[in-house]
């Protein structure tokens, strides 16, 4: 766009010497100064300028910075949401979809050299025949929240938050219980059709999980560079990119990880599935050697690794630490 503006300005400022021959002047030549774009060439950069300006406004409408401003919340709401996610009951789910492909045909009309002709097109359509879902029963192993505390939100004029969730295991027994239930579920649904799509994940019950947020100390009075009016004023003047750079520089980033730990050790192993802890559980030392899992998995290769239960051989230092822990 700036190049097109420069071309239009060059057409209005620059002058060139023109030499013309006309019979009006009895065959004599006429020399005069005129713009190099006097013959209508100035409309070419103007057309490109209008087209690029329209594309620029569409990009501003769909940009990530404008959409993130629509999810503005205050710091107290963020802390309340974090508390609900920490107290929420996790649900690890599995889903198996059995399907096959059916060969179908349809009539398609095509045009060549102005003539219409009909051809038969062959395509394959997916047909789902069976859908099954199940949840991980962790009543025997127990669960608790091990997410960290979220602090320092008041120190920045704006904080962009990203929330993710996952689960891990504190003991091999809890992981084996998870793997056995998972393998049993997919084994029962395997072979019902030609193909099977396997999905698994975790969600928090009674919680509207939102991945991205922008927190302000006072959402009613955000910084001037975070206002929609300032954004569109800069966009109309083709100056939204310096405003975005300023907003990125003045915005803090925080990645909060919600983690649920299955398999409580010690007297708290028989706690309820809701995540409650007895007074003796609070005195337990922090658990180590967790076996993490991501929140959502939809990969055939990763599923094969989990079902085969492959584990890495510990190094020499890890083996020494394991022996010391066993002696203690």
| DSSP string computed for 59-124 | HHHH-HHHHHGGGEEEHHHHHHHHHHHHHSPEEEEEEEEEEEEEEEEEEEEEEETTEEEEEEEEEE
Supply the pLDDT for residue 140. Answer: 86
Are 290 and 174 a contacting pair, CB within 8 Å? no
In order of 7, 121, 289, 313, 324, the CA distances from 317 in angstroms are: 69, 64, 14, 12, 11
Relative orientation angle of helices 228-236 and 240-250, to the nearest 10 degrees: 140
Bridge partners of 280, per DSSP, are none
Are 152 and 145 a contacting pair, CB within 8 Å? no
Distance CA 136, CA 90 (A): 10
β-bridge pairing 291-293 and 16-21: unpaired
Q: CA-based angle 34:35:38, to the nearest 5?
A: 100
Q: How confident is the model at residue 128 (pLDDT cuts 50, 70, 90)?
A: very high
Residues 196-234 pLDDT 10s: 999 998 999 988 888 888 888 877 787 888 788 888 888
Relative orientation angle of helices 43-62 and 2-13, to the nearest 10 degrees: 150
Supply the pLDDT for residue 242. Answer: 86
CA 241 to chain centre: 22
* Helix extents (H) in the chain: 2-13, 43-62, 64-68, 75-87, 172-189, 228-236, 240-250, 279-282, 300-308, 316-327
Of 50-64, 158-172, 185-199, 311-325, the least confident = 311-325
Q: What SS3 state is found at 257?
A: strand
Q: Give the start-to-end residue ranges of the domains of the chain.
A: 2-62, 66-97+135-312
Q: What SS3 state is found at 222?
A: coil
Average pLDDT over residues 125-145: 91
Q: Bigger pLDDT: 291 or 151?
A: 151
Q: What is the DSSP letter of 313?
A: P
Average pLDDT over residues 73-90: 89
């Amino acid at each position: 766009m700036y190049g097109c503006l420069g071309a239009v300005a060059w057409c209005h400022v620059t002058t060139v010497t023109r030499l013309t021959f006309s019979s009006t002047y009895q065959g004599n030549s006429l020399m005069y100064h005129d713009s190099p774009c006097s013959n209508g060439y100035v409309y070419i950069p103007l057309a490109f300028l209008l087209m690029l300006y329209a594309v620029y406004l569409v990009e501003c409408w769909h940009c990530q910075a404008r959409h993130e401003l629509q999810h503005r919340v205050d710091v107290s709401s963020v802390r309340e949401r974090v508390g609900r996610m920490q107290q929420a009951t996790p649900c690890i789910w599995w889903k198996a979809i059995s399907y096959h492909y059916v060969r179908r045909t349809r009539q398609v009309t095509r045009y060549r050299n102005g003539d219409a002709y009909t051809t038969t097109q062959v395509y394959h359509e997916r047909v789902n025949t069976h859908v099954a879902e199940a949840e991980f029963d962790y009543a025997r192993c127990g669960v608790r929240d091990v997410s960290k505390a979220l602090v320092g939100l008041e120190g920045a004029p704006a904080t962009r938050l990203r929330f993710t969730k996952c689960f891990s295991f504190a003991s091999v027994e809890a992981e084996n219980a998870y793997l056995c239930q998972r393998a049993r579920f997919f084994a029962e649904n395997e072979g019902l059709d030609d193909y099977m799509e396997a999905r698994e994940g975790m969600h928090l019950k009674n919680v509207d999980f939102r991945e991205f947020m922008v927190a302000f100390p006072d959402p009613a009075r955000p910084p001037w560079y975070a206002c929609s009016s300032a954004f569109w004023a800069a966009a109309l003047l083709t100056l939204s990119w310096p405003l975005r750079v300023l907003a990125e520089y003045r915005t803090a980033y925080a990645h909060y990880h919600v983690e649920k730990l299955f398999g409580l050790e010690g007297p708290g192993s028989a706690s309820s599935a809701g995540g409650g802890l007895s007074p003796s559980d609070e005195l337990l030392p922090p658990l180590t050697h967790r076996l993490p899992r991501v929140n959502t998995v939809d990969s055939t290769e990763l599923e094969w690794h989990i079902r085969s239960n492959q584990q890495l051989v510990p190094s020499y230092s890890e083996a020494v630490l394991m022996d010391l822990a066993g002696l203690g």
